[in-house]
Structure 1
């Protein structure tokens, strides 16, 4: 019996050994990756800055666009925000949620993987440039935020990062853009999988310097000396020289422009071009108006917003006035010559908001207009008038990126420029009002530059239920999630910056 037990034990061991042979190989998934190249993760971060789905765009649709009075909805509830000058916690956190949970996390991962690796120095510095751009959007939206310790929950287990002063954040953003752009080298092989420029380092250098110009101009009110220093660095380093340099995310019928996706489907009947924007374009005979606008003339309901009623004729465009809800808006119909709220002009879904329409992070037109202001201030050589005209022309020529039916003829561009020169005494207003147009559909940038410059000279939203003390929303409050998981850091930031509401100004938004 003892012998049988020994033999049985030996057999079990032999069987177990034979079962272990090839175990690791059989149970290793050779298809799904366990890690990604940093260049691919950087691409994902870049894509994520234009939002991951239609719902994420509600931050811009309900706050950024109505604050600068370009797009507005009369509806409340889940769509309330800048249209009523009220807090809607479900939408004030959209920028935070997307950028912190996605973009920042991805960029920190790229930086950790590439830092100190000479063979990946370009990817490392490109990630630094994109991180600076990402944090500009975050801090412009909320003010003091986690910056130096942000995105390190996985790598260093910092799960309650401290909130840094916006002044310190901006000084580091300027430093990072300056250093990272200068460090890019053509000596390395091009990273051809680069989603922006296909590995073209010269274009990345122009991008870095163009972001540096934008970041420097943000300080024009609060720290003009630093602004001037870094504007000069950006220009000497080389900024965008044409529309071919624009930073673009391209879309397809499968990978959609998500603002377009949202406004073509779920929110199709809810959002309209605001009267101040339409009126400015219409009164100035701006050839961009038919590219931006469509009106379903005489529509009395959503089903009647169809192709048969669609018109982009500038003469028939009517922007929705600010300050009304879906009930009180009916009092405006007779005055404006519309039959219903569905009869007001909307964003054109066959041009700028086709499902495959591109989205822009920063453009040659914007760069030229920033240089126009810098020249007016005496910070760069050249005349403000020349930069101003180049900026307008560039934005009008940029319309061709939305398709042949959006291209503006040369004769129309020239006619507009001939009748809209830069006028002495009105330089800052004209330059920044044109920037407002050039930043259309980039809500983050349009709102930031409006606060910085004070232009265009918009009138206060007259909605009677406004929750703000001032004329315009100056920042968005921190998300409720932060008040739950990082309340100590949040409270410290609030005690330093001011109340966690829509009125508190961020550091660079100095009241003059």
Structure 2
């Protein structure tokens, strides 16, 4: 991590006394090696996906896992007040995608040393494939958040300072093709040179090509399930191919960032809940009540009990005194809790959904595997999972409810992923608080509105995109959200 801290310091010092263009990343020095840029983008990506910062990622609130204690704007879907969409664009397009693009540029022009030269063609191929997989993952996040987004003209700010917005369904098709192309380029290598598949820079898999291949197949499955209702034929063939090629089969395959114990490299949960010295969050009533009724063994890991040993959540949209309701669990107050990008439990639920849709005879077993994976992930035992499943058996007649509710519980610390399951399967049934902003239309949001900044500086393309998706509203369903 030492390299990236230096890069951040250089970038900040270089921009401290100049006017800063919104499309310029102030945190990067592009004379560095690609491994350092990969480290930086992996951390930026993990920080965004895992942070509970109300300025960037409010999906734990949206999915009614957490509730704000004092300032309840975001629990009531007022995201404009903090320019949340602006921040999401900045983080993903500038900090992540732009830096990944720069990494590709450096890789493509790198002149290897005589020692590196024999292995460089394979290492170059692997490095470009890994970078492309990270780009695919990031673009899927953006499409799933907004709908149509800049894609073909994105992350090329010199050529396209005001990029057009591409059709979300078309982007998805291309992302699947890109995963296939990247996977085909991944080649095992025994080289130990400094440029060997980012061994030093890759903090997710330490340069393991086999792990990246499993990640690629798992990402392909995620893409397939994402369009299961909007493009079922492509979804089925893509899902079947991904599973056959080999997806995650245990937590050892997880894509995650190993956070460190010291600032600035500790988990953003710890940063916001502990290091900040603030008491901004406690348990949301919706999930706490659900888990209480089923004696869910995960509840003691998700939340802390109040005095008397019970678990109590606050009504969604309402504040309260910290300590009156259950606090978020110890994992969120631990600096080194890994940052999840894609994990085995999530993949297990995709397999369960794929079977429910296309191979019903195998669905019950896959559902059991997925629920068990989640309970074990959170410190439970297979025996506890068996007992829990007696209270929540698989219902083939209403599989969306079975999988939707259990994926919701399982994705407790993966708010963005949980939001996707909920929008696609329509379970659990979530009600917006009576205090929600008028723009929510009395509903839980199904998308984020485009950034206000885009309306101001990229107005014509913003208007075209808004018209194409049916309106730039929190209530506008994405192309894949059919029911």
**Please, what TM-score do these two structures have when normalized by structure 2?**
0.84
- Count of residue pairs brought into register by the alignment: 437
> CA separation in 2, counterparts of 1:34 and 1:172?
28
Q: Take 2:460 and 2:369, find their aligned partners in 1: how far apart are those partners? A: 49
Q: What is the deviation of 1:296? A: 4.5
Structure 2 Cα separation of the partners of residues 459 and 197 of structure 1 = 39
Residues 303, 311 of structure 2: 8 Å contact kept: yes
Cross-structure match for 1:398: 377
Q: Structure 1 residue aligned with 2:133, among 112, 129, 134?
A: 129
The answer to whether structure 1 residue 50 and structure 2 residue 52 are counterparts is no
RMSD: 2.6
In structure 2, do the counterparts of structure 1 residues 89 and 250 end up closer, same or farther at CA, with 3 Å as the change threshold?
same
SS at match of 1:427: helix
Greater mean alpha carbon deviation, residues 286-295 or residues 115-124: 115-124
**1:359 positional shift:** 1.6
Aligned position for 1:283 = 293
1:302 matched residue in structure 2:
none
Quickly say closer, same or farther: Cα 1:394–1:162, change in 2 above 3 A. Answer: same
Equivalent position SS for 1:173: helix
Aligned pair 1:388/2:367, yes or no? yes
In 2, are the aligned partners of 1:248 and 1:361 still within 8 Å (CA)? Answer: yes
Name the SS of the counterpart of 2:393 in structure 1. Answer: coil
CA displacement at 1:175 relative to structure 2: 0.9
TM-score, L = length of structure 1: 0.79
1:244 aligns with 2:252: yes
Q: Which residue of 1 aligns with 2:170?
A: 168
Between structure 1 and structure 2, the one with the greater Rg is 1
Instruction: Quote the offset at 1:147 in angstroms.
Output: 0.7
**How big is the shift at 1:71?**
1.1
Asked if 1:201 is matched to 2:209, the reply is yes
- The alpha-carbon distance between structure 1 residues 37 and 465, as it changes in their structure 2 partners (threshold 3 A), is closer
Q: Which of 314, 323, 333 is the equivalent residue of 1:320?
A: 314
Q: 1:444 aligns with which of 405, 409, 416?
A: 416
Q: How far apart, in 1, do the equivalents of 2:30 and 2:161 lie?
A: 24
- Confirm whether residue 490 of structure 1 aligns to residue 462 of structure 2: yes
Distance 2:52 2:460 in 1: 27
Encode CA deviations 1:460-506: one digit per residue, 9 max, x unaligned: 33326543225221111121222222222112211222322211222
3-state SS, counterpart of residue 360 of structure 1: strand
Partner of 1:148: 152
- Cα–Cα, structure 1 residues 464 and 237, in superposed 2: closer, same or farther, change >3 Å? closer
**Which segments of 5 or more consecutive residues in structure 1 lack a partner in the other structure?**
1-31, 298-310, 330-339, 400-406
Q: In 2, are the aligned partners of 1:105 and 1:151 still within 8 Å (CA)?
A: yes
Q: Is the 8 A contact 1:59 1:93 kept in 2?
A: no
The structure 1 residue matched to 2:327, chosen from 341, 346, 350, is: 346
Tell me how far apart the structure 2 counterparts of residues 291 and 414 of structure 1 sit (CA, whole Å). Answer: 18
Q: Which position in structure 1 is the counterpart of 2:427?
A: 455
Partner of 1:3: none
Cα distance in 2 between the residues matched to 1:508 and 1:353 = 36
The answer to whether structure 1 residue 118 and structure 2 residue 121 are counterparts is yes
Note if contact 2:439-2:473 (Cα within 8 Å) is conserved in structure 1. Answer: no
The SS at the match of 2:237 is helix
1:383 Cα offset (Å): 1.0
Q: Distance in 1 between matches of 2:398 and 2:49?
A: 40
Report the counterpart of residue 40 of structure 1 in structure 2. Answer: 36
Aligned partners of 1:56, 1:343: CA distance in 2, in Å? 21
- C-alpha change, 1:134 and 1:114, in structure 2 (3 Å) is same
Return the match for 1:264 from 256, 270, 274: 274
Maintained 8 Å contact 1:84/1:466: no
CA spacing shift, 1:464–1:411, aligned 2, 3 Å: closer
Corresponding residue number in structure 1 for 2:10: none
**Paired residue for 1:94, among 87, 102, 115?**
87
* 1:185 has 2:187 as partner: yes
Aligned pairs (5 A) from 1:200-239 = 200-239=208-247
Structure 1 counterpart SS, 2:439: coil
